[in-house]
Every structure is written in C-alpha cells, then in structure tokens.
C-alpha cells in the first residue's frame, strides 16, 4: 500500500508537469529549454505510460525495483529544466523505498541459502541412517564366515555434534556477501556440454540445453564444469574435500547409479550419467589430488569408458600419463560394486562393506577415491580416500573431456609436482 501511494503521488506530479509544459509550449523559456534536448513531451508521456503500467500490474517487489531503476534512468536523461528537476527530486524520495526492497531481497536470498544447507545436512544424516540400516540388515543375513569390520568411533576434529547448529552459527558469524567458495550458475540452452565452454574461464555449475531428469530428479544436463587445464572445460564427475557435513559415499547400487551429493560440494555424478557421457565419444579421464600439506598431483587416462548397467558399469581405462603412480591400473576392466551388489574378486569379506564405499574393486584396491573421508592422513590401514598407499587425501576430483580436444591440452595445472609428492 505504501509503495502504491508513492507511485500515485509520482503520477500526479507527472500530470502537473505535463500540464505546465503544454501551457508553456509557445513561451521563449520553453523553446530555450528544448534546445539540443529532443522531445521532452514525448519522454514525459512515455514515463507516465510506464507509471500507469506499474500501478496496474506491479505485484512482485523485485520486478517493481527493476522498473523503478529503469524509470529513474529515463528521468535523468531529461534536460535540466525546472520540470525535470522536480521529477528528479521526486525520484530521490523513492531511494529509501528501493533500499528497503533491496534489503528484503537480500534477506530472502540469505534465508534460501541457509534452508538449502540445512536440507543438505538433513539429507546427509538421513542417508547415513538409511545406509547403516541396510548394511546392518545385510550383515545379519550373511551366511559365510564372520566379517571383521573395524568401526571408527572417534569424533573427527572440527566437527560439531549437530550440523544444523554448525550451519546456523556459521551463517550468523559471516556477512551475507561472503561465500564458502565461488559458485557460478549459468544457463546455456544453446550448448550441450562443459567441453563447449571456452570463455569466461570460470569454474561452476552450468545448465545445458533442456533438463533431462532421472528417477531421483537429478538433471543430466546440469554439471559442474572446471577449467583445470588449457583448452575447454572438463565435466567433474566426482569431488571430495574437507566439507562439513561430509557426504556419505557408502551408498547402495541404485544411489550410485542415479548419483548423489551437491554439485557445489562433494558428490558422485551417477554411473548412468557417466556411462551416457563416455559412450557418446571417446573421453579422457583426469584425476587431481591434494594432500594435507597442500601438494597437488594429477593423472590422466587417454582412454576412458564406463560400460552400461547390464555389464555392471565395468571400467575401461588406458594410456596413462601423470605426476603420480598409476594406481588405477589394477582396477581396469573391473565391475562396480556396492555394499548391496558385490562384483569384486575378494576371497574374504566384500570390499564395498569393508571400505564403506562403492568402487571398481578387484581384491580389494590400490586406489579408492570414494573411500571414507579422513581428517587425518595416516593410520587407517588403507581404508580411506586413498591413491596407491596408506595416505588418505585431503581433496580431489575426477573429470572427463572428449579425447578429440586433448591435443590442445598441453599445459597442465600441476606439472611442477612429482610422483613422490605424497
């Protein structure tokens, strides 16, 4: 009601100004004020028409803010006659209204951000409970020899007992404009893949062509794109890091098939999605890892393919290159396994149950980038987020890009690091 009253007052003032302009059309002052300025009457008429539309159709505060800004710009284009000065004075009275509307928009956005974080927290806890229940049920039904599983009951450092309280405290101690990390969302319906991006070179979440949702409403055409090397962007299919709360990677076969996690944090893109990408064209797999001392290494496989679900999402890799050992070699041509669908070659307990993760296990692994995330790198008996040795990494990501674009990617991000760096 308050903004409607002010708009009505502005419209009345415009009517009075227009009347003055018309009455003084033949006067010398009027002629002088029009010199070099164009059609003032037409501008005022256009402004009045815009205000009439605002008064009738304005329903949304964000739209109102945008339109008022446009009207203000048009007003300020008028010649500095007495009439335009009156209009600009009236506009200045709207500044407080626009400031209030802008503050409301900021508060609404902040509220959505907090709600999203709480939702992620709740979903993570729910997944943990669901996985524990399913795993327990499977173990109770196990007819073979006893399975020895060591449980880590120590609370990780820097982890609050209640993640929701952690989120609220965190939000209360930082500015609205501060972000945990850069996140850029682009909607690009004319493009189909991260590899079509060249400029601007900004990592973030991009939406391509039209949404293509799976059974859990994850969008195949929404992807995290990373400019990790020279040339076009890569499609990130997996990411780990020191996020709180941690995403649970001990998931069922169906969950690994459909994908899980938040693209802006730690996630698995989904076996079915990865299969669809890799079978459209020959792809390169790039893996980047960082240890707890900040040292970074990389590996690339010039041949990468993931078979269909009928073949248990079997992994095919080759043509290794990188600054770290080829720990994925022993996993080549292995089927994917989860705690509820065993496809490994272990003679003892299922590798997925033992490691708390889904992966291309043999018996069991040289590398496991989906393993349990540890807040300390060593002392976990090869049961963690590992590559080639008993050292649990701090952060890492797996990415794909069409092989035909690899000829341009001759400059790598981590060339300064050698294979002994972790």
pLDDT per residue rounded down to tens, the chain (422 residues): 555 565 566 566 556 655 554 454 444 444 344 444 445 555 556 656 656 655 555 555 566 667 666 766 665 665 655 555 555 555 555 655 566 666 666 666 566 656 666 666 666 666 666 665 665 565 555 555 554 444 443 444 444 444 544 444 444 433 323 334 444 558 999 999 999 999 889 999 999 999 999 999 999 999 999 999 999 999 999 999 999 999 999 999 999 999 999 999 999 999 999 999 999 889 999 999 999 999 999 999 999 999 999 999 999 999 999 999 999 999 999 999 999 999 999 998 999 999 999 999 999 989 999 999 999 998 888 889 999 988 999 999 999 999 998 655 544 443 433 334 34
CA-CA distances (angstroms) from residue 50 to 10, 20, 41, 71, 168?
Answer: 12, 20, 14, 8, 43
In terms of C-beta distances under 8 Å and separation of at least 24 residues, what long-range contacts does 28-35 make, across chains too? 33/79, 33/81, 34/79
Instruction: Label residue 24 exposed, middle or buried (CB < 10 Å: 0-12, 13-18, 19+).
Output: middle
CB proximity list for 211: less than 8 A, separation 6 or greater: 219, 221, 222
Going by C-alpha positions, the residue among 36, 43, 54, 52 that lies closest to residue 18 is 43
- Our CA angle for 211, 357, 219, nearest 5°, is 0
Alpha-carbon span 198 to 17, nearest angstrom: 52
CB proximity list for 387: less than 8 A, separation 6 or greater: 287, 289, 324, 325, 327, 367, 369, 393, 396, 422
CA 277, chain centre distance (Å): 19
Spatial contact of 355 and 372, defined as CB atoms under 8 Å apart: yes
Distance between start and end Cα atoms, the chain: 65
CB proximity list for 61: less than 8 A, separation 6 or greater: 101, 104, 105
> Which residue, chain included where needed, has tokens 């995403």?
247
pTM value is 0.60
């Amino acid at each position: 009601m308050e903004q409607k009253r002010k708009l009505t007052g502005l419209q009345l003032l415009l009517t009075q100004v227009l009347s003055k302009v018309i009455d003084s059309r033949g006067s010398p002052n009027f002629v002088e004020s029009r010199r070099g300025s164009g059609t003032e009457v037409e501008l005022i008429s256009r402004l009045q028409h815009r205000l009439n539309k605002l008064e009738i159709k304005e329903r949304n505060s964000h739209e109102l803010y945008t339109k008022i800004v446009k009207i203000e710009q048009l007003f300020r284009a008028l010649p500095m006659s007495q009439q335009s000065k009156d209009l600009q004075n009236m506009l200045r009275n709207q500044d407080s209204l626009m400031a209030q509307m802008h503050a409301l928009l900021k508060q609404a956005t902040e509220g959505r951000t907090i709600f999203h974080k709480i939702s992620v927290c709740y979903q993570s806890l729910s997944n943990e409970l669901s996985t524990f229940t399913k795993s327990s049920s499977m173990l109770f039904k196990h007819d073979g020899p006893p399975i020895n599983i060591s449980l880590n009951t120590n609370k990780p450092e820097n982890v609050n007992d209640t993640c929701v309280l952690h989120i609220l405290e965190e939000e209360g101690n930082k500015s609205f404009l501060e972000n945990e990390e850069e996140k850029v969302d682009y909607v690009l319906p004319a493009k189909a893949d991260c590899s079509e991006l060249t400029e601007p070179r900004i990592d973030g979440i991009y939406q391509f062509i039209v949404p293509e949702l799976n059974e859990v409403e994850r969008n195949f055409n929404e992807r995290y794109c990373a400019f990790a090397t020279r040339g076009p962007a890569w499609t990130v299919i997996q990411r780990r890091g020191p996020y709180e709360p941690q995403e649970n990677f001990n998931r069922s076969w169906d969950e690994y098939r459909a994908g899980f996690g938040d693209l802006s944090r730690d996630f698995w893109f989904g076996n079915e999605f990865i299969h669809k990408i890799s079978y459209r064209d020959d792809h390169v797999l790039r893996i980047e890892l960082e240890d707890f001392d900040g040292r970074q290494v990389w590996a690339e496989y010039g041949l990468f393919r993931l078979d269909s679900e009928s073949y248990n999402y079997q992994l095919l890799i080759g043509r290794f290159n990188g600054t770290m050992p080829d720990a994925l070699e022993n996993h080549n041509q292995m089927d994917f396994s989860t705690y509820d669908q065993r496809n490994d070659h272990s003679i003892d307990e299922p590798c997925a149950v033992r490691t708390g993760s889904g992966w291309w296990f043999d018996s069991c692994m040289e590398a496991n980038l989906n393993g349990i995330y540890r807040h300390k790198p060593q002392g976990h008996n090869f049961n963690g987020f590992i590559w080639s040795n008993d050292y649990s990494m701090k952060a890492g990501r797996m990415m794909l890009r069409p092989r035909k674009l690899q000829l341009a990617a001759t400059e790598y991000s981590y060339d300064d690091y050698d294979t002994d760096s972790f």
